[in-house]
Chain A
Amino acid sequence: MKYIAISILLTVFVLCPPAAAFAQDAGGGIDQKIGEIFGTVFGPFVSFIFYSVTINGVSFPLIVAWLILCALILTVYMGFVQFTGIRHSIDLLRGVYSNPEDAGEVSHFQALATALSGTVGLGNIAGVAVAVSLGGPGATFWMIVAGLAGMASKFTECTLGVKYREEFPDGHVSGGPMYYLSKGLAEKGKPGLGKLLAVLFAIMCIFGSFGGGNMFQGNQAHQMIANTFGIFTDTGWLFGLILAVIVGAVIIGGIKSIAKVTEKIVPLMAILYVGTALVILIANFTKIPTAFGLVVQGAFAPEAIGGGIVGVLIQGLKRAAFSNEAGIGSAAIAHSAVRTNEPLTEGYVALLEPFIDTVVICTMTALVIVITGAYADAGGMTGVALTSAAFQSVFPWFGVVLAVAVLLFAFSTMISWSYYGLKCWTYLFGESRISELTFKLIFCVFVVIGCSMSLGPVIDFSDAAIFAMSLGNVLGLYLLMGTVKKDLKDYQARIKSGEIQRYK
Chain B
Amino acid sequence: MTDTMLIGIDGSKAGEHAVNFAVSQAKAGDTSLVLAYVVEWSPYTFNTPEENEQRHLRRKEEIKTARERVLDPVLKSLESQGIEALGVVRHGQVADVLLQIAKAHGAGQIVVGRIGHSGIKSLLFGSVGRKLIQLAHIPVTIVP
In the complex, A487 has a CB within 8 A of chain B: no
Known contacts: A103-B91, A263-B48. The answer to whether A174 contacts B43 by CB under 8 A is no
Partner of A172, one of B45, B48, B53, B90: B53
Contact of B49 with A334 in the complex, beta carbons under 8 Å:
yes
Chain B residues with CB below 8 A from A113, complex form: 45-47
Chain B residues with CB below 8 A from A118, complex form: 49
Contact of A111 with B52 in the complex, beta carbons under 8 Å:
yes
Q: In chain A, what residue has the closest Cβ to B92?
A: A103
Contact of A105 with B92 in the complex, beta carbons under 8 Å:
no
In the complex, B54 has a CB within 8 A of chain A: yes
In the complex, A339 has a CB within 8 A of chain B: yes
Contact of A100 with B92 in the complex, beta carbons under 8 Å:
yes
Q: How large is the interface on B (under 10, 10 to 19, 20 to 34, 35 or more residues)?
A: 20 to 34
Chain B residues with CB below 8 A from A106, complex form: 47, 52, 55-56
Contact of A172 with B49 in the complex, beta carbons under 8 Å:
no
Q: In chain A, what residue has the closest Cβ to B38?
A: A103
Partner of A104, one of B39, B49, B100: B39
In the complex, A28 has a CB within 8 A of chain B: no
Known contacts: A103-B97, A172-B54. The answer to whether A264 contacts B48 by CB under 8 A is no
Q: In chain B, what residue has the closest Cβ to A170?
A: B57
Per-residue A-contact encoding for B52-72, CB less than 8 Å = 1, 0 else: 111111011011000000000
Contact of A266 with B46 in the complex, beta carbons under 8 Å:
yes
Bound-state CA distance A108–B52 (Å) is 11
Bound-state CA distance A111–B51 (Å) is 10
Partner of B46, one of A104, A114, A420: A114
Chain A residues with CB below 8 A from B49, complex form: 114, 118, 333-334, 337, 415-416, 419-420
Main SS of the interface on chain B? helix
In the complex, A214 has a CB within 8 A of chain B: no
Chain A residues with CB below 8 A from B92, complex form: 100, 103-104
In the complex, A110 has a CB within 8 A of chain B: yes
Chain A residues with CB below 8 A from B45, complex form: 110, 113
Chain B residues with CB below 8 A from A109, complex form: 43-44
Per-residue A-contact encoding for B96-123, CB less than 8 Å = 1, 0 else: 0100100000000000000000000000
In the complex, A119 has a CB within 8 A of chain B: no
In the complex, A173 has a CB within 8 A of chain B: yes
State how many angstroms separate the Cβ of A197 from the closest Cβ of chain B.
23
Bound-state CA distance A111–B48 (Å) is 9
Chain B residues with CB below 8 A from A334, complex form: 49, 52
Q: In chain A, what residue has the closest Cβ to B101?
A: A100
Q: A113-B46, A339-B55 are in contact. List 19 more A-B contacts (CB 8 A).
A: A95-B43, A103-B91, A104-B59, A104-B91, A104-B92, A106-B56, A109-B43, A110-B44, A110-B46, A114-B48, A114-B49, A174-B53, A259-B48, A263-B47, A264-B46, A334-B52, A337-B52, A338-B52, A420-B49
User: Closest 8 A-B residue pairs measured CB to CB?
Assistant: A104-B91, A107-B43, A337-B52, A419-B49, A103-B91, A104-B59, A171-B56, A263-B46
